[in-house]
Chain A
């Protein structure tokens, strides 16, 4: 399957057919998720209505890690298997992951002020998530700093794989250290600790945001393929004009 998609022309054709369906499904899931979040999910007995921030915060936190894993596997695809679309995938994933990380940090902060009494605390989970955002921004800056795409891809791949050390730190920070941030309450041994009336809207929102992320990723990859064609044709045109002038 992945090998079949190695051909950019085939990828453009398949992704072009898939994207409208993905966009429709995304709108449907996020619409349903927002309806459940606002009209069916109850207020929490301790957090009150503030619990509704969780329906944004938790899915974006998951997607922050998910997109980093996409980048890390694409980095391996670039360095080890030299898959022609791996660096395209890597480049397209970075701004999406950064945006989800930013939303996670901001919504967490807006939840923290009324619940903890502070917008920010230098605890292990919050700090490692901030480091994650800085790594995303560093990766995006490195893409811009090196003009030649193949060289840029190799440098970014190495940085991405080094930065992947932070992924388990984010995930297990609440278990390894004594943090203000609560431990995992959905993906944990023994099952979720959230009541289904809140868990189901949370999962619907998570699926909606995941579909949104995948649609944006595919769209970003398509644009990057076009950008590289534009670059190649611009170089060919310059060579042709040089040859004509000579």
Chain B
């Protein structure tokens, strides 16, 4: 490799970390929302209240 290997490796490592962060964030956030929705539906949160 060249004397610039550290610059090249840093560029690839930082890109990999940011891309992995985007993917992990997408998966985790989706799971959190799906679980929250399932809990609300299980509690019958979508049903309208019956008054009178």
Contact = CB atoms under 8 A, between A and B. Distances in A.
Given A52-B8, A107-B15, A226-B37, A240 B26 contact: no
Contact of A103 (B5, B15, B49): B15
Contact of A236 (B2, B8, B23, B48): B48
Interface string B24-52: 01110110011011001101011111010
A151 B8 CA distance: 44
Size class of the A contact interface (CB-based, 8 Å): 35 or more
Nearest to B40: A233
Nearest to B21: A99
Contact of B40 (A48, A99, A113, A234): A234
Interface string A202-246: 000000000010001001101100110110011011011001100
B45 A233 contact: yes
A106 interface: yes
A96 B26 CA distance: 10
B38 to A, nearest CB: 10
Contact of B22 (A48, A52, A96): A96
Nearest to A239: B49
Choose among A49, A227, A230 the residue with the greatest number of B CB atoms under 10 Å from its CB.
Answer: A230
B5 to A, nearest CB: 7
Given A49-B5, A236-B48, A110 B33 contact: no
B52 to A, nearest CB: 10
A197 interface: no
Interface residues of B, number: 35
Contacts of A14: none
B43 A99 contact: no
Contacts of B34: 226
Given A102-B18, A216-B26, A111 B46 contact: no
A227 B29 CA distance: 9
Nearest to A92: B26
Q: Which 6 A-B pairs have the closest CB atoms?
A: A237-B45, A243-B49, A226-B33, A240-B49, A233-B45, A233-B40
Interface of B: 1-5, 7-8, 10-12, 14-15, 18-19, 21-23, 25-27, 29-30, 33-34, 36-37, 40-41, 43, 45-49, 51
13 contacts: A99-B19, A99-B21, A106-B14, A110-B14, A114-B4, A114-B7, A219-B26, A219-B27, A226-B33, A233-B41, A233-B46, A240-B47, A240-B49
